[in-house]
């Protein structure tokens, strides 16, 4: 495999994990623009614990899970104020959270402040790839459980879910916390791929992109974040390849403008995301009895 | 016959407006009772008080002789009360069977049940139970379909099935026949009679008097937040006060 392909796959894997971290709260109706914040907490916790020079030099088999769990704990504590907000206000609250995290870390000299922090333990895909597969399987598993059913009912109608005995607050906190855990996991894994972390990697643009992976992919099914992350990872590369082959300006300098047009087009054509339930049923034809297929 | 539900001097105000004024009535165990009244009489407010969405200002509500006035909305399904809604409140992005499974939630609310992969192992007992209830209601052709794509009349009946699978002692139905055609109304009636014969008490808010006459033995009439009459459907349609509430009194100055 060429270094270029390996690089793409690394980015894809990280994108998929962070997409699931935003998808799980989104499936329960929470719009989370704080992906950058969780990524930073995970990356810096892991880097500080594992770095041989300036950190504690602990083995990554320990530091990656600890970093993810610590991020989950922060998410759990933050969920109480954040879940008091809804809709666009939740977007603002989670965005504010990410900015606060970035601000704090920028001013922490122990982790290098604005100059970033080196990560001494390098891994190749042998860690990232299996973890990504497990995260995807976990996403599918969780959505298929009664807990996942509760999440999706809260997304559709919180009050009715409550009347049917769903502990809506617990489920919402749970979804947010698991999302934070996965965000921390993505951050921890990032450091070991790129050997250097800095807060500037994870600004508002990063959080917007991750939310777009999920919204363009679709929040109704666990296929959404997988497809969304692939879409956002591959389309710019495909455009680049077309540009290199043809030399057409639209695909070279204007590559991101073309990508923007594609995103807007997706929003117009598939406002509920690429992978909706109806679309999946069409793909697999699993549950529509023949008598119900409209012949028009 | 004992009562499954007692309302004693229940009152509710929104700001200065008294919406429910000193309402008391009982629902007999196993009965089919209708709650009727003109628009704005407070029928849906009574339902919201019963299901705990609103708190009563004074008076109390008891189910099976236990005072439930202070029990929060989420716990009321555990003590045997379930409801449907005036406007369809199914989960639009869930399939028919998943909506019905939501009705089973309080029966399956242990950690083990919550983390069992229902969607991956499709032959689980909850899915079978849900399918069985759909078959009994004559809705077995739609189990996997997302409900927002189904016809209105079908959605309306799925809502009743969802409320029924929670095995309630008392089923509250808020205008179950509204917007249904005559065939669908008949099917709904059969479904409700079946539920009733298996021991569920029905309390129905409904405007369709034919439906009420066919289904219910007992009728409570509300007007402007007060109970104005209680009796059999035949008595109700003869009562001068009820006629006045619906059609206007003789002494009105409409002209």
CA dihedral (A179, A181, A187, A188) in degrees, to 10, reads -160
* DSSP-derived 3-state class of residue B202: strand
Q: Please indicate, yes or no, if residue A238 is contained in any of the structural domains.
A: no
| Per-residue tokens: B239 | 């009562």
| Per-residue tokens: A275 | 């992978």
Contact call for residues A35 and A211 (beta carbons, < 8 A): yes
- Name every residue whose Cβ is closer than 8 Å to that of residue B54 and which is 6 or more positions away in sequence: B12, B45, B48
> What is the per-residue pLDDT for B120?
87
Q: State whether residue B89 sits within 8 Å of chain A by CB.
A: yes
- Name every residue whose Cβ is closer than 8 Å to that of residue A94 and which is 6 or more positions away in sequence: A31, A32, A33, A34, A37, A82, A207
> What is the per-residue pLDDT for A294?
45
Question: What ipTM did this prediction achieve?
Answer: 0.90
Domains and CATH numbers, chain B: 3-247 (3.40.50.300)
Q: State whether residue A162 sits within 8 Å of chain B by CB.
A: yes
| Per-residue tokens: B191 | 């479904």
Q: Please indicate, yes or no, if residue A102 is contained in any of the structural domains.
A: yes
Count CB atoms within 10 A of the CB of residue A240: 13
- pLDDT, tens only, B186-204: 999 999 999 999 999 999 9
For chain A, list residues with pLDDT below 70. 285-296
Q: What is the DSSP letter of B95?
A: B
Q: Please indicate, yes or no, if residue A263 is contained in any of the structural domains.
A: no
How many whole angstroms from its chain centre is CA A245?
A: 32
Percentage of chain A lying above the pLDDT 90 cut: 74
d(CA B217, CA B208): 15
- pLDDT, tens only, A164-194: 999 999 999 999 999 999 999 999 999 999 9
* DSSP-derived 3-state class of residue A112: coil
Q: Please indicate, yes or no, if residue A282 is contained in any of the structural domains.
A: no
Residue A69, judged by CB atoms within 10 A of its CB (0-12, 13-18, 19+), counts as middle
Contact call for residues B159 and B175 (beta carbons, < 8 A): no
Contact call for residues A199 and A102 (beta carbons, < 8 A): yes
> What is the per-residue pLDDT for A279?
86
Interchain proximity A145–B144, CB inside 8 Å: no
d(CA A213, CA A205): 12
What range defines the domain where residue A122 resides?
3-216
Please list every residue in chain A whose beta carbon sits closer than 8 Å to the beta carbon of residue B149.
278
| Per-residue tokens: B237 | 């349609």
For chain A positions 266-285, those within 8 Å of chain B (CB to CB) are 277-278, 281
- Residue of B83, B141, B144 lying closest to A286 (CB–CB): B144
CA A230 vs CA A181, A211, A235: distances in Å? 21, 14, 8
> What is the per-residue pLDDT for A246?
87
Q: Please indicate, yes or no, if residue A74 is contained in any of the structural domains.
A: yes
- Residue of B76, B95, B105 lying closest to A166 (CB–CB): B105
H helices, E strands: number in chain B: 9, 10
| Per-residue tokens: A110 | 């122990």
d(CA A273, CA A240): 24
Q: Please indicate, yes or no, if residue A12 is contained in any of the structural domains.
A: yes
Please list every residue in chain B whose beta carbon sits closer than 8 Å to the beta carbon of residue A222.
none
Tell me the CA end-to-end span of chain A in Å, nearest whole number. 48
- Partnered with residue B77 across adjacent β-strands are none
> What is the per-residue pLDDT for A124?
86
Q: Please indicate, yes or no, if residue A256 is contained in any of the structural domains.
A: no
CA A130 vs CA A72, B120, B128: distances in Å? 21, 21, 35
> What is the per-residue pLDDT for A293?
46
The tens-digit pLDDT sequence of chain B (255 residues) is 689 999 999 999 998 899 999 999 999 999 999 999 988 899 999 999 999 999 999 999 999 999 999 999 999 999 999 999 989 999 999 999 999 999 999 999 888 999 999 988 888 999 999 999 999 888 887 888 899 889 998 999 999 999 999 999 999 999 999 889 999 899 999 999 999 999 999 999 998 888 999 999 999 999 999 999 999 998 988 888 888 888 776 655 444
Interchain proximity B92–A156, CB inside 8 Å: yes
* DSSP-derived 3-state class of residue B229: strand
Q: Please indicate, yes or no, if residue A59 is contained in any of the structural domains.
A: yes
Alpha carbon of B139: minimum distance to chain A alpha carbons (Å): 12
Overall domain count for chain A = 1
> What is the per-residue pLDDT for B28?
94
d(CA B148, CA B114): 25
d(CA B28, CA B32): 8
């Amino acid at each position: 495999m060429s270094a270029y392909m390996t690089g793409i796959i690394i980015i894809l894997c990280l994108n998929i994990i962070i997409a699931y971290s935003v998808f799980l709260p989104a499936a329960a109706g929470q719009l989370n623009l704080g992906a950058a914040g969780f990524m930073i907490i995970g990356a810096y916790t892991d880097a500080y614990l594992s770095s041989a020079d300036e950190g504690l030099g602990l083995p990554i088999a320990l530091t990656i899970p600890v970093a993810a769990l610590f991020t989950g704990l922060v998410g759990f504590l933050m969920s109480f104020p954040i879940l008091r907000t809804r809709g666009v206000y939740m977007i603002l609250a989670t965005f504010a959270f990410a900015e606060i995290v970035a601000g704090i870390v920028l001013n922490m000299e122990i982790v290098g402040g604005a100059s970033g922090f080196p990560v001494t333990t390098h891994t190749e895909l042998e860690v990232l790839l299996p973890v990504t597969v497990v995260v995807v399987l976990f996403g599918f598993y969780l959505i298929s459980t009664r807990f996942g059913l509760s999440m999706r009912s809260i997304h559709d109608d919180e009050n009715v879910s409550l009347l049917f005995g769903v502990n809506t607050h617990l489920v919402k906190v749970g979804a947010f916390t698991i999302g934070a855990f996965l965000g921390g996991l993505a951050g921890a894994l990032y450091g070991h791929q790129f050997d250097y972390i800095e807060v500037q990697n994870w600004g508002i643009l990063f959080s917007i992109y991750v939310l777009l992976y999920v919204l363009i992919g679709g929040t109704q099914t666990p296929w959404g974040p997988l497809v969304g992350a692939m879409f956002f990872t591959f389309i710019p590369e495909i455009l680049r390849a077309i540009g290199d082959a043809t030399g057409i300006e639209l695909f070279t300098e204007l590559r991101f403008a073309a990508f923007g047009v594609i995103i807007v087009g997706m929003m117009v054509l598939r406002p509920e995301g690429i992978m909706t339930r109806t679309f999946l049923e069409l793909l697999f034809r699993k549950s529509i009895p023949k008598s119900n297929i409209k012949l028009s | 016959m004992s009562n499954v539900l007692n309302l004693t001097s229940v009152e509710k105000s929104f700001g200065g407006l008294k919406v429910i004024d000193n309402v008391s009535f009982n629902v007999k165990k196993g009965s089919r009772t209708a709650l009727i009244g003109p628009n704005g009489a407070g029928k849906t407010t009574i339902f919201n008080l019963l299901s705990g969405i609103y708190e009563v200002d004074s008076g109390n509500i008891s189910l099976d002789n236990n005072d439930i006035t202070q029990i929060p909305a989420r716990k009321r399904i555990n003590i045997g009360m379930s409801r449907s809604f005036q406007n369809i409140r199914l989960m639009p992005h869930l399939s028919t069977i998943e909506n019905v499974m939501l009705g089973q939630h309080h029966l399956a609310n242990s950690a083990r049940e919550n983390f069992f992969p229902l969607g991956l192992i499709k032959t689980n007992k909850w899915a079978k139970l849900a399918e069985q209830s759909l078959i009994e209601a004559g809705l077995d052709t739609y189990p996997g379909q997302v409900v927002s794509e189904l016809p209105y009349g079908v959605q309306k009946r799925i809502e009743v099935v969802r409320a029924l699978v929670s095995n309630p002692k008392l089923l509250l139905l808020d205008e179950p026949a509204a917007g249904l055609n005559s065939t669908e109304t008949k099917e709904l009636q059969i479904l409700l009679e079946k539920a009733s014969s298996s021991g569920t008490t029905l309390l129905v808010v409904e405007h369709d008097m034919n439906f009420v006459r066919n289904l219910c033995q007992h009728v409570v009439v509300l007007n402007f937040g007060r109970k104005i009459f209680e009796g059999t459907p035949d008595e109700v349609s003869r009562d001068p006060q009820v006629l006045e509430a619906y059609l206007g009194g003789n002494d009105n100055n409409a002209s």
